[in-house]
Amino acid sequence: MKKRTMSAWGSAILIFIILMIVTPTIPQSQAYHNFADQRSFLGWTCFYIGVAAVAFGSSYYHLHPNDATLLWDRLPMTIAFTSIMAIFVIERIDEHKGTYSIAPLLLAGLVSILYWRFFDDLRPYALVQFVPCIVIPLMAILLPPMYTHSTYWLWAAGFYLLAKVEEAADKPIYSWTHHIISGHSLKHLCAAMVPVFLTLMLAKRTVQTERISLYKTWKKGSEEERFEHSYSNVAVEETR
């Protein structure tokens, strides 16, 4: 048995050597590196860095709540906001423009934070924070997506808006719940759902074969539903 095994291995090695001699070389094609999907993932990287940093910045702020520590809470959130805007430009408008917009958007977010800190004026920061809340749902509905599962964007935006409402109603909610939970605490829970929805979207989505906006999809579905309803009514009347 051992002799047969050695013979089999010897034959296999001999065949391999002969094939290496008689067959042409197979060089690595440089086209291998020319991937079909070459989009930049820098936007998503910045977003998740911002989300991860919020945990540390927010914890630091809540240990000593004041303007100085609030800076470190808002800075990573601003990175996340501005990254999301760049991601939308990449995926809905133009890949190159969106990629080039990452640095200017991050810079705008940083400037808004520093402006608030030095001049005690929240107007630029309010724009950076609330413009995405309005623009992203509109873009998600009106612009044709590159990928499937676009409705997750709306869920994420909805939970973030709910978080802002809960933050504004911090003390009333604390009173309504008989001091069980405050609006600010609920705000953190709802805001935490934003990266959850977006992560689920990334895990599930595929490239959209036919790029149709959510608005057109809903409109088409509504028209088909009306047609089916009218057709069923006509069929019932004919049977009578």
> For 197-218, how does the pLDDT look when each residue is reduced to its tens digit (9 = 90+)?
999 998 998 887 777 878 787 7
* pLDDT reported for residue 135: 86
Residue spans per domain, the chain = 39-143, 144-210
* pLDDT reported for residue 156: 92
Can you spell out the DSSP letters for the chain? -HHHHHHHHHHHHHHHHHHHHHSPP-PPPGGGG--S-----HHHHHHHHHHHHHHHHHHHHHHS-SHHHHHHHHHHHHHHHHHHHHHHIIIII-HHHHHHHHHHHHHHHHHHHHHHHHH---HHHHHHHHHHHHHHHHHHHHSPPSBS-THHHHHHHHHHHHHHHHHHTHHHHHHHTTTS--HHHHHHHHHHHHHHHHHHHHHH--B-SS---HHHHHHHHHHHHHHHHHHHHHHHHHH-
pTM over 0.85: no
Residue 196, pLDDT > 70, answer yes
* pLDDT reported for residue 79: 93
